[in-house]
């Protein structure tokens, strides 16, 4: 009996020592301060006040011919057999080429189902005049050739917060 109590005591003390050692190591590890990040005010990057810009324009989505404005960049093996082209990822390149925002970019990400009357997609970034951009875009079909080419003219209303 005394031997069993001694064994249990040894196991308990060893387990406690290991537990508290791990606890102390974890506490020391979390106390360290790493300098790979810091909080900066926007002014330190030359950013002034944030503004909301509303852009209204029409994109000509050309899917056929030599001057297409979009490209399939990925697709699932089953996409060609799907009536909804499920699994297809398309990249659209429709630059803003005139006016104050010429050369600036907005990154719009999301599902843009051409058969849906009104689509809403998030703005996840930008460059140039649209630094730190965020917001949303509404897209709706202005003209859509569903029978032959799938070419479309799409109306966009874009609301973007940026510096």
pLDDT per residue as tens digits for the range 103-134: 999 999 998 888 899 999 999 999 999 999 99
Question: Does residue 114 form part of some domain?
Answer: yes
So what's the pLDDT on residue 94?
76
pLDDT one-digit tens code per residue, 128-149? 999 999 999 999 999 988 777 7
Check residues 70 and 30 and name the one with the higher pLDDT. Answer: 70
* Domain that residue 107 falls in: 42-162
Question: Does residue 112 form part of some domain?
Answer: yes
HSE-CB of 105 using CA atoms within 13 angstroms? 10
Question: Does residue 88 form part of some domain?
Answer: yes
H/E segment holding residue 126: strand 118-127
Question: Does residue 7 form part of some domain?
Answer: no
So what's the pLDDT on residue 12?
57
Strand partners, 160: 53, 135
pLDDT band at 34 (very low <50, low <70, confident <90, very high): low
- φ and ψ at 118, to 5 degrees? -130, 120
Does residue 71 have a pLDDT over 80? yes
Question: Does residue 30 form part of some domain?
Answer: no
Question: Does residue 68 form part of some domain?
Answer: yes
Distances (CA, A) of 26 to 7, 22, 33, 142: 29, 6, 14, 60
Q: How many structural domains is the chain composed of? A: 1
Question: Does residue 26 form part of some domain?
Answer: no
Contact of 109 with 89, CB cutoff 8 Å: no
So what's the pLDDT on residue 125?
96
Strand partners, 60: 153
Question: Does residue 34 form part of some domain?
Answer: no
């Amino acid at each position: 009996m005394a031997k069993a109590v001694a064994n249990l005591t040894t196991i308990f003390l060893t387990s406690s020592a290991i537990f508290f050692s791990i606890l102390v190591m974890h506490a020391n590890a979390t106390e360290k301060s790493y300098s790979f990040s810091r909080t900066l005010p926007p002014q330190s990057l030359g950013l002034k006040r944030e503004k909301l810009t509303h852009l209204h324009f029409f994109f000509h989505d050309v899917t056929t011919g030599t001057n297409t404005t979009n490209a399939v960049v990925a697709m699932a093996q089953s996409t060609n057999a799907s009536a909804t082209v499920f699994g297809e990822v398309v990249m659209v390149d429709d630059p803003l080429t005139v006016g104050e925002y010429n050369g600036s970019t907005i990154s719009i990400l999301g599902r843009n189902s051409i058969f849906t009357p009104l689509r809403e997609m998030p703005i996840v970034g930008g460059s140039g005049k649209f630094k730190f951009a965020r917001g949303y875009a509404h897209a709706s079909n202005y003209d859509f050739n569903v029978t032959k080419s799938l070419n479309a003219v799409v109306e966009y209303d874009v609301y973007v917060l940026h510096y």
